[in-house]
């Protein structure tokens, strides 16, 4: 006689319980850790208000972030994404912040950004104490120890490198830092296809074609793209370029701010590359 389903269930219950105990704790799941970091008291209300435009959870999960990885964030500026990434990686992974090298000749805003960022890290050692800073100095850009990273991430930086003429060196540095099979995640302001290069530089919006070509030149393969950070309300035709939109609202008259706040932050490409 075949055993009944109920008797099978009774026999299997102890095994199921043991199996459940052997699973990783749910707190180690990337989505859970990202949620915890996003809602943490260490983040200001102003930074949390950007979540609806920047979709950090969806973006990081699209790139394939896992807690045990070694992750490098490129040019974190004042640390908007660091506040999420570093706490996620602190227990079972490694977080590197690749920051521009600061010298006496660096502009004042760069010196202030660097000082503010380091102060943020020092101010919360329980969250950021394990973060490792890596200084990037041209012409040969190194963003982490060679072959050490599982993932390199850059958010809204490519236009700066294109303007400075360092984009090729930057992407080569990303490639050198990654393990074979590692991921490069890029979020960047998106220009209309066919926008001429100088207009991209002047406006801060880059074409997907430019970013993909630059990455491929460095040895990357485009694996996937997402519309997570798309914004169809962004017309991309402002005299002040992308900086007209929030959070900058550069040179926007007080009376015009509601119009640009209603548009929100820029339309952005979200591209996932892999190092073969």
pLDDT for 224-273, tens place per residue?
999 999 999 999 999 999 999 999 999 999 999 999 999 999 999 999 99
| C-alpha torsion sign, points 28, 153, 48, 42 | positive
For residue 1, pLDDT over 70 is answered with: no
Other C-beta atoms lying within 10 Å of the C-beta of residue 117:
18
The yes-or-no verdict on residue 12 having pLDDT over 60 is no
Residues 183 and 178: their CA atoms lie apart, in Å, by 7
pLDDT at site 140 = 83
Dist. CA 151–CA 136, nearest whole Å: 17
Share of the chain above pLDDT 70, in %: 90
The yes-or-no verdict on residue 15 having pLDDT over 80 is no
- Looking at residue 101, its pLDDT comes to 92
Report pLDDT for 211: 98
Strand, helix or coil at 165? coil
Q: How far apart are CA 166 and CA 169, in angstroms?
A: 5
Q: What is the mean pLDDT of residues 73-87?
A: 97
Q: What are phi and psi of 125, to 5 degrees?
A: -60, -25
Q: What is the mean pLDDT of the chain?
A: 90
Q: Residue 144 pLDDT > 50, yes or no?
A: yes
Give the integer Cα–Cα distance in Å for 49 and 141.
Answer: 33
* Position 17 pLDDT exceeds 70: no
Residue 125 three-state SS? helix
Which domains, and CATH codes, for the chain? Answer: 26-274 (3.40.50.150)
Could you give the 3-state DSSP secondary structure of residue 72? strand
Per-residue pLDDT, 4: 45
* Alpha carbon 55 to its chain's center: 10
Say if residue 123's pLDDT is above 80. Answer: yes
Task: Kindly tell me if the per-residue pLDDT of 73 is higher than 70.
Answer: yes
pLDDT score for 7: 44
pLDDT of residue 3: 46
Q: At what angle do helices 82-89 and 56-63 cross, to 10 degrees?
A: 50
CB 86 within 8 A of CB 43: no
User: Residue 146's pLDDT is what?
Assistant: 96
**Confidence (pLDDT) at 199:** 98
pLDDT at residue 56, rounded to an integer:
98
Mean pLDDT of the region 128-137: 93
What's the pLDDT score for residue 215? 98
Q: Please state, in angstroms and rounded to a whole number, the distance separating the CA atoms of residues 6 and 9.
A: 5
pLDDT for the residue numbered 226: 98
Name the least confident of 5-19, 127-141, 189-203: 5-19
| Burial state string for 179-190 with b = 16 or more CB within 10 A and e = fewer than 16 | eeebbbbbbbbb
């Amino acid at each position: 006689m075949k055993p009944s389903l109920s008797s099978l269930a009774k026999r299997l219950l102890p095994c199921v319980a043991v199996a459940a105990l052997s699973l990783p704790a749910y707190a180690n799941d990337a989505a859970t850790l990202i949620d915890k970091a996003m809602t943490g008291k260490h983040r200001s209300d102003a930074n949390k208000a950007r979540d609806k435009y920047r979709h950090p959870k969806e973006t990081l999960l699209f790139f394939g972030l896992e807690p045990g990885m070694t992750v490098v964030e490129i040019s974190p500026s004042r640390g908007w994404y660091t506040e999420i990434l570093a706490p996620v990686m602190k227990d079972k992974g490694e977080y590197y912040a690749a920051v521009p090298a600061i010298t006496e000749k660096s502009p004042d805003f760069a010196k202030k950004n660097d000082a503010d960022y380091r102060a943020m890290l020092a101010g919360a050692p329980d969250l950021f104490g394990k973060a490792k800073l890596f200084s990037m100095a041209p012409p040969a850009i190194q963003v982490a120890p060679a072959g050490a990273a599982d993932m390199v991430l850059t958010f809204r930086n490519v236009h700066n490198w294109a303007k400075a003429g360092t984009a090729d060196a930057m992407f080569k540095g990303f490639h050198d830092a990654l393990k074979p099979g590692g991921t490069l995640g890029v979020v960047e302001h998106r220009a209309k296809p066919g926008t001429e290069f100088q207009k991209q530089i002047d406006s801060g919006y880059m074409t997907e074609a430019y970013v993909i070509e630059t990455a491929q030149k460095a040895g990357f393969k485009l694996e996937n793209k997402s519309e997570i950070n798309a914004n169809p309300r962004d017309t991309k035709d402002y005299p002040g370029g992308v900086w007209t939109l929030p959070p900058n609202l550069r040179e926007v008259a007080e009376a015009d701010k509601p119009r640009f706040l209603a548009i929100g932050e820029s339309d952005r490409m979200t591209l996932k590359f892999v190092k073969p």
